[in-house]
A and B are shown apart, each in its own frame.
Chain A
Amino acid sequence: MTPLQILFIVVAAATLGAALMVVSVRNLVHAALWLVVALMGIAIFYVLLNAGFLAVAQVVIYIGAIAILMIFTIMLTRRVASESKPQVNPNWGWALAIAVLLFAGLAWILSSWSGFNTQTTALAARADPLRDLGLALVAPDAYVLPFELASVLLLAALIGAIVVAWEKKI
């Protein structure tokens, strides 16, 4: 067991544990904080996958913006009495069955795929994923069109969120 494998197992266990707490705790603010732990674990995985920019972007976008937005919304839409009633639907048993079945199915299908046990190939010595990513996002023959469309999408979401949550009638 190389140290890298031990690190992977520890972080994977922590992330999956945090995800289980997200979907099962009653107190919503605690669920949001467990979500922050899970997102941190995902950021560590990005570092292991040699995608350093994605790791830092994950922390900035997900933890720094999305998680905080969720915590704000939870605090603004609280009904204190609702924290004593059960937080799961009456048919959570079916949900559990579907989730377990899906996991088993995915694991079985993936394990019968030929490339399942690919080991790492070392990246080329002068590879610089950060520089390649930057060039790919703005090069005309690469991915500049999805990049611009994503920025239009974000603008639409920004305006839409403000309009939807506006208090006075417009």
Chain B
Amino acid sequence: MTIGRVTQRMLAQNSLGSVQSGLGRLAKVQEQLTTGRVLNRPSDSPTATTAAMRIRSERAAQEQYARNAQDGLGWLTQIDSTLGSVTDTVRRAREVGLQGNNTGSVGQVARDALATEVDGLRADLVSQANSTYLDRPVFGGITSGSKAYDDAGNFVGVVGNVNRRVGDGVVVKVDVDGNTVFGDGATSVFAELDGLSAALRSGNTTAIGASLDALAARLDTVTSARTAVGATQNRVERAAQSATDAKAALDGDLSNVENADLAATTVELQLAEVSYQASLAATSRVLQPSLVDFLR
């Protein structure tokens, strides 16, 4: 640029302009340092803003997945421990049946006592089948009632899926249909125990044997249901872990996009400060002298 004439006003305006722009840079860096963020409004970087918004919504989703998985684990743990008790109960009933089946050493009085124990075990089983998690019967599907089985051993729940979304598009069923474990009405474990109890009272060894076979089969059913629950539990735990990990990774990404690099920003502040001070110093020198100072 060729400079023809230079006037005092020009100098003054230029100085003012550069002091202003220096101060502007300082203010920008200061904002970044005091807020700790490089993104304070969309125009700071539209692309990074969009990225930050996406990461934020993905992070919220992962956080939610982890929460959903924890809730699902509550259900599954409750079902697992209940199925454990059910196994014990059915096994005990079978042992009692086996004792009763030994007609040589056990008399009718003892069998009656055993039948009473079987009745007690049946009552236990009904209450186990109605066990709840957060006031909902875990074997009752999506029923709005408080029970999965009535006292007669009929299924009164509503078959349906209690699902938990534990990942993007990953939905896990966290309940177990009571039907598949306990059966319903005449084909239920309750009817089987009723049969055993009646057979013990009547001393009918054939009937006792049939009941024992049925109970053995039931034991298998319960065990396999418990295995399936264990597998699901495993899966949900892994999903919870991966959602937590994903959230941590996204936190890092978000910080990369949104937050100011403290070291770099501090250096930038230093530079802005230096250039601002330089422009101030130059201004004070340039605006001082004029020819008038040198005339007598």
Binding between chains A and B: no
